[in-house]
């Protein structure tokens, strides 16, 4: 098995990569959005992160191309140390979206797949920036 990796360039405050475990039979595609988040308010950040996760799952579910991906097998994970967050202190965050393809599998670096993934990434980034709980940046 040979993995495949593709970086998606953006001017937004996120670093984005798309990966698959098997470049020849890419059944699962993972979008990884990395950034630093700075809490803007004092709050229970665990609840805020759970709310973000639910909203992102809904966004992906409502916008995923069901001809290409199995929406019932889509996974959204937000990886951050929400228990250690403090107001105005940046924390590392990773937003991982794993989607499983229907057969026949499209290659990760194909134009068809990039046309599926790029607008989805834009939707997620725009959705994240629409929330006012955190400030997002590419670096600390």
pLDDT at 84: 83
Phi/psi for 65 (5° steps) reads -80, 105
Which tokens hold the place of 101? 């393809």
Q: Which residues 6+ apart lie within 8 Å of 1 measured at CB?
A: 21, 22
Q: If we measure between CA atoms, which residue out of 64, 32, 63, 37 comes closest to residue 49?
A: 37
CATH topology for 4-137 is Alpha-Beta Plaits (3.30.70)
Collapsing DSSP to helix, strand or coil, 84 comes out as helix
Q: What pTM was computed for the model?
A: 0.90
In the chain, where are the structural domains located?
4-137
Mean pLDDT by 10 residues, the chain (140 residues): 84 95 93 94 85 94 96 93 86 96 93 93 94 92
pLDDT at 1: 62
Half-sphere exposure of residue 13: CA atoms within 13 angstroms, side-chain side? 17
């Amino acid at each position: 098995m040979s993995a495949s990796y593709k970086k998606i360039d953006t001017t937004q405050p996120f670093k984005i990569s798309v990966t698959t475990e098997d470049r020849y039979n890419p059944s699962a595609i993972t979008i990884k959005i990395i950034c630093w988040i700075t809490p803007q308010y004092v709050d229970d950040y665990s609840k805020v992160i759970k709310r973000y996760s639910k909203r992102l799952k809904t966004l992906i579910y409502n916008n995923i191309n069901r001809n290409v991906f199995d929406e019932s097998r889509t996974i959204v994970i937000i990886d951050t140390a929400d228990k250690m967050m403090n107001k105005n202190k940046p924390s590392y965050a990773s937003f991982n979206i794993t989607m499983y393809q229907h057969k026949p599998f499209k290659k990760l670096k194909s134009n068809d797949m990039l046309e599926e993934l790029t607008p989805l990434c834009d939707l997620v980034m725009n959705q994240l920036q629409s929330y006012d709980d955190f400030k997002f940046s590419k670096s600390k």
